[in-house]
Amino acid sequence: MYQGHNKTACLSQQAISEAFLRLLEEESFDEISVSEICKEAGVSRQTYYSLFGKKENILLYEISRHYPFQTCEKDCSPRHLSSQICDYLDENARFIQLLIDHDSGNLLYTTFYESFCHIENEYVASFMAGGMSSIIQKFVEKGTSRAEVEEIIAQIFIDAK
């Protein structure tokens, strides 16, 4: 997946992502073809493959665009991190619902696991990533209150230290 800063490539990535998300509103993940995505986005198949390679990477791109753990220089306290995650949930609830509806919630796990690389014990990192992705899925499915979810997430981070 392309991660550079070329303006044209970044605009094409965004167009492809937006087109794919529009198509996901109407069709299942497996039914959407690369040709359909390219047509909707107004890009060539070559552009698609050079930027993403496969459909799953579009979803990972969309997750990473607003992912709450990308910057943590100032305040990495459990309360701050849980607040960031809940902000992410509030701002991206529809997208997360699309992930769940299309059986792609595992991508949340993957993203969390990769962000927990600072945790030396891979079992702890895996457990936390699984817990976080499950909490997010339940939050979206059940409509749990933000305050409750924020407290649960903060407690997970506090206990993990």
Q: What is the pLDDT of residue 52?
A: 95
From CA 42, how far away is CA 133, in angstroms rounded? 33
Measure the CA–CA gap between 21 and 25, rounded to whole angstroms: 7
DSSP state of 51: H
Q: Flag whether pLDDT at 13 surpasses 90.
A: yes
Q: Quick one: CA dihedral 55, 129, 87, 1, positive or negative?
A: negative
Res 54: pLDDT: 93
In the chain, the domains with their CATH numbers are: 7-62 (1.10.10.60), 66-160 (no CATH)
33: left (phi over 0), alpha (psi -120 to 50) or beta: beta
> Is there a contact between 81 and 158 (Cβ–Cβ < 8 Å)?
no
Rounded mean pLDDT of 32-44? Answer: 96
Per-residue pLDDT reduced to its tens digit, 74-89: 556 777 878 888 888 8
Q: With contact defined as beta carbons under 8 Å apart, do 100 and 140 qualify?
A: yes
Report the pLDDT value the prediction gives residue 161, as an integer from 0 to 100. Answer: 58
pLDDT at 68 over 70: no
pLDDT in tens, 119-154: 788 888 898 888 888 888 888 888 778 888 888 888
> Over the chain, what is the mean pLDDT?
85
pLDDT at 45 (0 to 100): 96
pLDDT at 21 (0 to 100): 92
Q: Helices 106-115 and 78-101 meet at what angle, rounded to 10?
A: 150
CA distance 145 to 84: 15
Query: Hey, what amino acid is at 160?
Result: A
Taking the complete model, does pTM exceed 0.85, yes or no? no
pLDDT over 90 (residue 66): no
